[in-house]
Copies of this chain bind each other. A is one copy, B any other.
Amino acid sequence: MTKVARLYEGTETAGKREAILNAALRLFTERGFHGTAMPSVAELAGVGAGTIYRYFESKEALVNTLYRDWKNFQITTILKDVPEETPLREQFRIYWNRLVEFAAEFPIAFGFLELHFHAPYLDEESRAMEERGHNALVSFFQHCLRQQIVKNLPPEMLGALVVGAYVGLVKASRAGCFQLTQEMIDQAEACCWEAIRR
């Protein structure tokens, strides 16, 4: 059983709701929001078409739940348990590895979050979650800036470059350009740090 499924397994409500969310995650990622028909979600989830509406008010509610849950999970997974006193260079390494691990362990969710970044059908709450991730990123680079260990550039720009490189790397590896070994991940991390370090 993959970890993908496990995000939606902990609760005792169990079963249908998780099946729907997992089916929707896959189909929305593969075909996009408007390209996915609700009956196809139901079929993949192994439930009746009407059943989805017992758990989610609408298709939009479904995609938003998915976005919030996964974005929240991603942020939590990446930020958890890093002692404040850890050197920032070391923190950078940790976050980088966690980002890559997240994409490796939850490839569909990674694709989903990428595809739905800033999508017009995301609601207030989903956007707030997006914002939360963004703030954590900016906050880290502000910290780096204060310690003068990175180039004197806007923290948003530093974040954009590093996260952009991360996304590019993962997408390219997923497109089959290369297989990501731990060595390559480490090398990429080194590249990114060198890109921004003072």
Q: Please report A residues at the B interface, Cβ cutoff 8 Å.
A: 30-35, 117-120, 134, 151, 153-154, 156-157, 159-169, 171-173, 175, 177-178, 184, 187-188, 191-192, 194-196
Cβ A161 vs Cβ B34 within 8 A: no
- Complex Cα spacing A32 to B30, Å: 14
Identical chains in the assembly: 4
Knowing that A151-B187, A153-B184 are A-B contacts, what are 20 other residue pairs whose CB atoms are under 8 Å apart, sorted by A's residue number?
Answer: A31-B120, A32-B34, A34-B34, A134-B177, A153-B188, A153-B191, A154-B178, A161-B192, A162-B168, A163-B168, A164-B167, A164-B169, A164-B171, A165-B168, A165-B195, A167-B168, A168-B168, A191-B196, A192-B195, A195-B195
Chain B residues whose C-beta falls within 8 Å of the C-beta of A191 in the assembled complex: 151, 153, 161, 195-196
Please judge, given known A-B contacts A34-B32, A187-B151, A195-B195, whether A169 and B178 are in contact too, CB under 8 Å: no
Question: In the complex, which residues of chain B have a beta carbon less than 8 angstroms from the beta carbon of A117?
Answer: 171
Q: A160-B168, A161-B169, A165-B168 are in contact. Are A187 and B153 (CB under 8 A)?
A: yes
**Interchain nearest-CB distance for A77 vs B (Å):** 20
Question: Which single member of B30, B187, B195 contacts A194 (CB below 8 Å)?
Answer: B195
Q: Verify B167–A30 contact, CB threshold 8 A.
A: no
* Distance (whole angstroms) from the CB of A151 to the closest CB of chain B: 7
A159-B134 Cα distance, complex, nearest whole Å = 25
Q: How far is the CA of A191 from the CA of B33 in the complex (A)?
A: 36
With A34-B32, A120-B30 in contact, is A178–B157 under 8 Å at CB? yes
B residues in contact with A119, CB < 8 Å: 32
On chain B, the residues within 8 Å of A167 by CB distance are 164, 167-168
